[in-house]
Chains A and B, each alone.
Chain A
Amino acid sequence: MEQKSPLTIFINNKEYKVKPGQTIMQAADNLGFKIPRLCYHPKLSIEGACRVCIVQVEGMKTYVASCAYPVSEGMRIHTNTAELRRARRDIVELILDNHPTDCHVCERDGNCELQRLTYAMGIRHRHFEGERKHYNKDLSSPSVIRDPDKCILCGRCVRICSEVQKVNTLGFAHRGFKTVVMPAFNTPFAESICSTCGQCINVCPTASFVEQNYTQDLFEKLDDPNIIKVAQIAPSVRAAIGEAFGLPPGRAMHGELAASLRKLGFDYVFDTQFSADLTIMEEASELLERIGGKGSLPMITSCSSAWMKYVEHFNPEFLPNISTCKSPMSMMGALVKTYFAQKLKRKPEEILSVAVMCCTAKKHEAARPELMVEGMPAVDIVITTRELAWMIKSAGIDLVNIKVQDFDHPLGISSGAGAIFGTTGGVMEAALRTAYELATGETLLDIELESLRGFAGIKEATVTMEGKPIRVAVAHGLGNAQAVLEIARKEPDRYQFIEIMGCPGGCIGGGGQPYATANSIPLDEACLAKRAEALYAIDRGKNIRRSHDNPDIQRLYREFLGRPLGTLSHKLLHTHYQAKEPRGIIARGRK
């Protein structure tokens, strides 16, 4: 029987009243005692693998893992005795023993949880110098690198991949000293079912998972006077990059980013929010066409690259439902190499098209052959928010205090609808603002669709267009995506339109966003909410809040594209995806 009344416990000899049903760690957290921890993550199941969070409980012979042990009446807990500190220090030293000593040349130097923990435990010498594991890095994927040498087997990557994303690419293989986190059969990432979402990078406490880094290559190219360097910035990059510069989450920094990218050597800085508006024009038109009987319903969004790779592997039967629209990044890339090249009277091969994304999967997307334009990639290099933050620091640019600048024309003006693309529910909200007006000829007055905001796994809403109810759903994170597909499979008429984002929270929680800082948790919802609010604030602050009202979008159609879903739009802005069956794919297990 569950006990409802508060329990009395003692932490470090002081008496406290706490709610029953909590673990020692949760109770201690709420009382302001932060017990050191490593493998624990509040969004994931309890692993109890690292033993860093041990505490002493009077009457118990052994130390207790506070992440897993529930509080009980009268429990006397000690979190910081000298004995416990020694034990914890030994545990971290032993973890460290099978870890390289190359912090100063490591990608996560200064940003590593193990490094911070080592310091906090007071470890100033390495006493143990035992045998250390050595494996090759998996460099096969254009998005994610796996480096087993840095792995401390905390299992967070395995848990996020199986419990939140439910892709189940990663698992523990072999045993004891030889245990390695790897895909089934040690398949290289590039041939595996990996969606390339990069959430393993977000939750990894060390550098066992990192993105494929293109910054050196980009610095080389920025130095080449013979090419025209064009950048685009995704909405959610501006909402998060400040965190990499010590700012609290939630400050939108598009002006600072435009200025910094020019300082880095870019000739033109465009806004992916512009091509988000363009995506809406095409996608809203496509939705109305499908509702009118041309094509499968429900229509499902295609902006999220991780989602696209996932659906190709696991749900190919839904491919006819996927919008044929390319993602905003690929639309922008296509325009840069055609429309903009023509305006400059330059050949597309003279242009370097760079995308700054919150996302590791976009690196994979940029390499897709079906998204080529004029026989070349629409986007040549994709860097993540993290990579750009490093480049800005490395070039000695003061992002925080730089004088803000605007984006360049003609691909730089955006509506508020384009901004909210970066958060879960945003694409749906933006699409409905335009679809409603296209369908009814009337303006949707209540444009802030509250029911589509926030971080519920699956959100639903109904909009009435010309007397007909249009039922929509929004899912974020691939686990929720699969759940919404299961609903659509059972009830094919339930939804007309579904938005899916591969990462928790949408792009703002992307696999390329800044690492959690010392006092934060990766994928903390409070942080995601602040990033989302930065985008909603951009939306509220704009005079133009609907994609079809964007004057540069109107001009683009007038001067170049003709009309949404027209011949040129189809050639440049739409594509088709194909079912994929790499190794291990027969395992549709999604438990």
Chain B
Amino acid sequence: MIMTAEDKYKTLEEYISSFKNDLHPESRLIGVLHKAQELFGFLPEEVMCKIAYLMDIPAARIWGVASFYHYFNLKPVGKHVISLCLGTACYVKGAGMILDRIREHLNISVGETTTDGMFTLQEARCLGACGLAPVLMIDNKIHGKLTPEAAIELINGLKKG
């Protein structure tokens, strides 16, 4: 089912009103931002303003939370989001080399999206899968024990669809 922007706003509004009787509804902010990102793919300014209005939290504070966590996308993202872990364990196991290869292969830097809108490259700080280091996450799916070649293969696989 394809949701219109109106549907998305409505879903978000319903989600926020579901806990309006909480003692501290503002403590749900991070959850609401997750929900918004799930709906909209990233956190557009208008959506954050809407959340500010509905939750009665200053926009400056919402912007502070959204920009604090790497997980939240402040710009539109591509069809597939590649998050490469650069935490200590992954880095030691060669994540830096993987990053270089992906950048070269997709011709984008960290935080950017390919011109065809297929891939967004992000860096992450420890995905909690150090035993599988080095790991990368594509669209919420973890891939471990990677080499630069294996990473490129994964990406090419997605390209073919």
Contact = CB atoms under 8 A, between A and B. Distances in A.
Interface stretch (A3-11, A162-170, A324-332): A162-170
B56 A185 contact: no
A361 B52 CA distance: 26
A183 interface: yes
A172 interface: yes
Interface centre among B48, B49, B52, B63 (most CB of A within 10 A): B63
Interface in A548-591: 583-591
Interface string B27-69: 0000000000000000001001110110111111111100110
B153 to A, nearest CB: 33
Contacts of A585: 49
Contacts of A255: none
Contacts of A590: 56, 58
Interface of B: 26, 45, 48-50, 52-53, 55-64, 67-68
Ranked 3 nearest A-B pairs via Cβ: A171-B60, A587-B52, A168-B58
B110 to A, nearest CB: 14
A5 to B, nearest CB: 35
Contacts of A589: 52-53, 55-59, 61
A587 B67 contact: no
A175 interface: yes
A586 B50 contact: yes
A586 B56 CA distance: 10
Interface centre among A162, A173, A584, A587 (most CB of B within 10 A): A587
A184 B62 contact: yes
Interface residues of A, number: 22
A175 B64 CA distance: 9
Contact of A170 (B45, B60, B68): B60
Contacts of A588: 53, 56
Contacts of A162: 58, 60-61
A586 B52 CA distance: 7
B61 A171 contact: yes
A156 to B, nearest CB: 15
A183 to B, nearest CB: 6
B55 A184 contact: no
A174 interface: yes
Contacts of B55: 589
B56 A591 contact: yes
Nearest to B70: A175
Contacts of A586: 49-50, 52-53, 59
Contacts of A171: 58, 60-61, 63-64
Given A168-B58, A183-B60, A584-B59, A174 B52 contact: no
A587 B62 contact: yes
B70 to A, nearest CB: 9
A109 B99 CA distance: 45
B33 to A, nearest CB: 14
Interface centre among A175, A183, A584 (most CB of B within 10 A): A584
5 contacts: A172-B64, A173-B63, A185-B48, A585-B49, A588-B56
B45 A587 contact: no
A587 B59 CA distance: 5
Contacts of B52: 184, 584, 586-587, 589
Contact of B64 (A169, A173, A583, A584): A173
